[in-house]
């Protein structure tokens, strides 16, 4: 990671639009702090922002690194997998944490993307190069292979997929698109023998995949039984729709009682103030046991219902 940071510092000094794609949010936050400490103009983008903040960050990122950006902004974007799709970005220099081959190819699609607006002669670097943060994929590896380089990001993808991708990349030395993509992806996902130190991790990953498959089959809604019976009695607010670690959605509030997004309480302001967080992390925090708020509009609704329900259609109900 230190070599990657030094490379980005030098590239930004030349005016390049740079990106470092990190596998984990914690590592992205640490990287952007490191770059800013070195005097680099660095931006951060990941999926843990409240929606209102994420929209603001995405707009700033598109202005700095999008199709119509300045020729030589001299900035670095540190981001997670959110840059792999949806955002139309164009970078001169790219550094990426090691990821499965298909993900690396997807990330590389943001490198020298808009050649009509910025031909090679106008770029501050001579060629589009994807720099991958990865250890050597030798045969004699330890069970914690790649942990020092990727930090928490090593747990995002199966360790065997990372090792096979690294082995193929080190052997090929390049990603040639489009003619070489199929061979790279197939080779990286081949069922070749693994170093003995990684076999246990591969078995755990295979077991987890089978468990997720069974979990998904268990959560399939039987529509012919009706939603309640078909969903096993789960409520629609908490019904599991994704595999992975449980998360909780929080609605952020300012100290003055206003929603984090600003303005008054409404459905829109609540949604813009939402942020998702790991349940395991939240359980470790000393959060206060706050009572459920009872907004004034809800009390007004009760009064109108006692009055015969007149005018209830005109009420705006906040989302709690």
* pLDDT tens by residue, 209-264: 888 888 777 777 777 776 666 555 666 666 666 677 788 888 999 999 999 999 89
Cα(185)–Cα(182) distance, integer angstroms? 5
Which of 8-17, 155-164, 190-199, 228-237 is least confident?
228-237
Residues 6+ apart with CB under 8 A from 214: none
Task: Please classify residue 254 by burial: count the beta carbons closer than 10 Å to its beta carbon, then call 0-12 exposed, 13-18 middle and 19+ buried.
Answer: exposed
Cα(305)–Cα(21) distance, integer angstroms? 54
Residues 6+ apart with CB under 8 A from 145: 135, 159, 163, 195, 197, 198
Closest CA to 115 of 54, 48, 181, 67: 67
Is residue 283 pLDDT above 70, yes or no?
yes
Q: What is the chain's mean pLDDT, rounded? A: 84
Cα(178)–Cα(181) distance, integer angstroms? 6
Under CATH, which number does the domain 1-200 receive? 3.40.50.300
Is residue 311 pLDDT above 60, yes or no?
no
For the question of whether the overall pTM of this predicted structure is more than 0.85, the answer is no
Q: So where are the chain's domains? A: 1-200, 247-293
Closest CA to 91 of 19, 23, 35, 20: 19
Token duo for residue 134 = 């990865």
What is the rounded average pLDDT of the residues 278-283? 88
| DSSP secondary structure string for all residues of 284-300 | TS----PPPP--HHHHH
Most confident stretch, 52-56, 135-139, 188-192 = 52-56
At residue 262, the pLDDT reads: 92
Quick: pLDDT tens for 81-123. 999 888 999 999 999 999 999 999 999 999 999 999 999 999 9
What is the rounded average pLDDT of the residues 45-58? 95
At residue 187, the pLDDT reads: 80
At residue 34, the pLDDT reads: 97
Task: Please classify residue 145 by burial: count the beta carbons closer than 10 Å to its beta carbon, then call 0-12 exposed, 13-18 middle and 19+ buried.
Answer: buried
């Amino acid at each position: 990671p230190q070599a990657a940071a030094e490379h980005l510092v030098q590239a930004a000094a030349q005016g390049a639009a740079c990106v470092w794609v990190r596998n984990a949010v914690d590592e992205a936050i640490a990287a952007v702090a490191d770059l800013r400490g070195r005097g680099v103009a660095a931006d951060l983008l990941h999926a843990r922002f409240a929606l209102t903040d994420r929209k603001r960050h995405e707009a700033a990122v598109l202005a700095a690194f999008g199709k119509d950006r300045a020729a030589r902004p001299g900035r670095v974007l540190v981001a997670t997998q959110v840059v792999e799709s949806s955002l139309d970005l164009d970078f001169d220099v790219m550094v990426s944490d090691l990821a499965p081959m298909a993900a690396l190819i997807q990330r590389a699609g943001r490198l020298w993307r808009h050649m009509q607006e910025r031909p090679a002669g106008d770029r501050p670097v001579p060629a589009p190069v994807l720099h991958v943060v990865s250890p050597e994929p030798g045969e004699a590896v330890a069970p914690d292979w790649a942990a020092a380089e990727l930090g928490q990001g090593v747990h995002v993808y199966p360790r065997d997929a990372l090792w096979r991708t690294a082995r193929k990349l080190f052997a090929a030395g390049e990603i040639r698109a489009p003619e070489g993509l199929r061979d790279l992806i197939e080779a990286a996902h081949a069922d070749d023998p693994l170093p003995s130190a990684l076999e246990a991790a591969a078995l755990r990953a295979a077991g987890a995949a089978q468990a997720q498959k069974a979990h998904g089959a268990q959560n399939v809604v039987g529509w012919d039984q009706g939603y309640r019976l078909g969903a096993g009695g789960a409520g629609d607010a908490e019904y599991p729709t994704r595999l992975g670690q449980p998360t909780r959605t929080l609605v952020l509030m300012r100290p003055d009682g206003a929603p984090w997004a600003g303005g008054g309480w409404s459905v829109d302001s609540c949604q813009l103030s939402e942020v998702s967080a790991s349940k395991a992390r939240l359980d470790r925090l000393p959060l206060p046991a706050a009572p459920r708020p009872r907004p004034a509009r809800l009390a007004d609704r009760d009064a109108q219902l006692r009055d015969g329900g007149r005018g209830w259609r005109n009420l705006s109900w906040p989302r709690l």
